[in-house]
Amino acid sequence: MSTMGLRADETKQEAAVLNGDFDVYQSAHLTAFEEYLKNVLLPMPAVDPLIPSMSYSLLSGGKRLRPMLCIFVADMFGTEREIALPVAAAIEMIHAYSLIHDDLPCMDNDDLRRGRPTNHKVYGEAMALLAGDGLLTHAFWMLASTRTSPERIVEMLRSLSFAAGPYGMVGGQVSDMDHRERTATRLTFIHAHKTGKLIRAAIDLGAILGGADASKREQLGLFGEHIGQAFQMMDDWLDVTSTTEELGKTAGHDSDGNKLTYPSLFGADKTRELAETEYQAAVAALAPFGDKANRLGELAKRMVRRSK
Ligand code: IPE
Ligand code: IPE
Ligand code: MG
Ligand code: MG
Ligand code: MG
């Protein structure tokens, strides 16, 4: 993930994070997560090609932003990575399922994802549907098997299932297909649900695992909502300003499809500005955590100033 350049007014503190150990810190977590993820799906030849189809989408080199958010937040509260890994994997499994279904012909009808043919192009629609179902369901098994207290497990299950379901991501995907109302209010609702809820949940699960109290969870939730908005604005912005080669998914696809997006309503430049405003609001929400949230703030910056 590349940054898109620092602004002149950025503080020395931020620069210190960049020049300091952020890359080392993130890459250590990323490597451990990739290693862990490789082994979460055991082979089951009797149901071939279900597991290969699930693995195709789970292990195809996404940016892993949601797992990193979860692990970073858990670490802020002193929870070791080993405990957070299954939780981070569960979140990424839900994300991978959402992308498989999002790409289906009955939804966005996309042929390319992360530089490779989409799941249904390789395994067919029926298997893609079932691979998504498999990832969604197995995610909750993973989460329920986390090595933490039963109370924290139940709270994580509540948080993630609410965020991923009809009141969260699934609801957002439904409103994304409804093109009747073309207003900013509607757009904010779509972004908050189809993308924001899962991002917010990734952060919340890290906080629950770390034993954060209700007010800290709420404050981090605010951060999650703003960074979720900024993230999807940038997804829409990149859709109209970048190339298929750079993105690894078909550029212009969201804007072509008569979708309600920020660029379609406000234009590309204004979208970039609005994303920056949301990012600044996200960073402001981290203020009560002081230096402890420096790495989370840096991750947020890279989520917004990205090129893919
Ligand atoms: C793409 O998410 C779908 C959205 C919610 C915008 P990412 O941009 O995180 O996708 P990967 O996992 O890195 O491919
Ligand atoms: C995806 O939004 C939201 C999901 C819940 C998967 P998009 O449809 O804009 O994501 P991309 O552009 O296909 O990755
Ligand atoms: Mg979509
Ligand atoms: Mg899509
Ligand atoms: Mg998109």
Of 181, 163, 35, nearest in space to 98 by CA: 163
Q: What is the pLDDT of residues 22-46, one digit of tens each?
A: 999 999 999 999 999 999 999 999 9
CA distances (Å), 1 to each of 33, 185, 240, in order? Answer: 16, 30, 19
What average pLDDT score do residues 192-200 get? Answer: 98
Report whether 239 contacts 263 (CB < 8 A). Answer: yes
Q: Give me the number of domains the chain comprises.
A: 1
What phi and psi values does residue 117 have, to the nearest 5 degrees?
Answer: -60, 145
Q: Domain containing 112: what range? A: 21-304
Q: State pLDDT tens for residues 221-238.
A: 999 999 999 999 999 999
Alpha-carbon gap, residue 256 to 259, rounded angstroms: 7
Residue 95 to residue 157: CA distance in whole angstroms:
15
Domain assignment present for 273: yes
> Per residue in 145-180, pLDDT tens?
999 999 999 999 999 999 999 999 999 999 999 888
Residue 1 lies in a domain: no
Residue from 99, 239, 250 whose mutation best tests the ligand 1 pocket (most atoms within 8 A of CB): 99
Report yes or no on 10 lying in a domain.
Answer: no
User: Residue 35 in contact with residue 27, Cβ under 8 Å?
Assistant: no
Residue 12 lies in a domain: no
Ligand 2 centroid from CA 44, angstroms:
30
* Within a domain: 140: yes
Averaged confidence pLDDT in the chain:
93
In a domain, 38, yes or no: yes
Using CB distances shorter than 6 Å, the residues near ligand 2 are 98-99, 102, 108, 110, 169, 173, 194-195, 235, 249, 254
Inside any domain, residue 15: no
Separation CA 156–CA 153 (nearest Å): 5
Burial 111-122 (b: 16+ CB within 10 A, else e): ebbeebebbbbe
Inform me whether the pLDDT recorded for 251 exceeds 60.
yes
Instruction: With a cut of 90, say whether residue 308 has pLDDT above it.
Output: yes
| CA-proximal residue: ligand 1, atom 11 (nearest) | 62
- Backbone Cα Rg of the chain: 19
Residue 149 CA to ligand 1 center (angstroms) comes to 31
CATH number of the domain within which 264 lies: 1.10.600.10
Q: Which residues surround ligand 3, an ion (CB under 5 A)?
A: 102, 108
Residue 7 lies in a domain: no
157: its two tokens: 């299950």
Structure confidence at residue 5 (pLDDT): 44
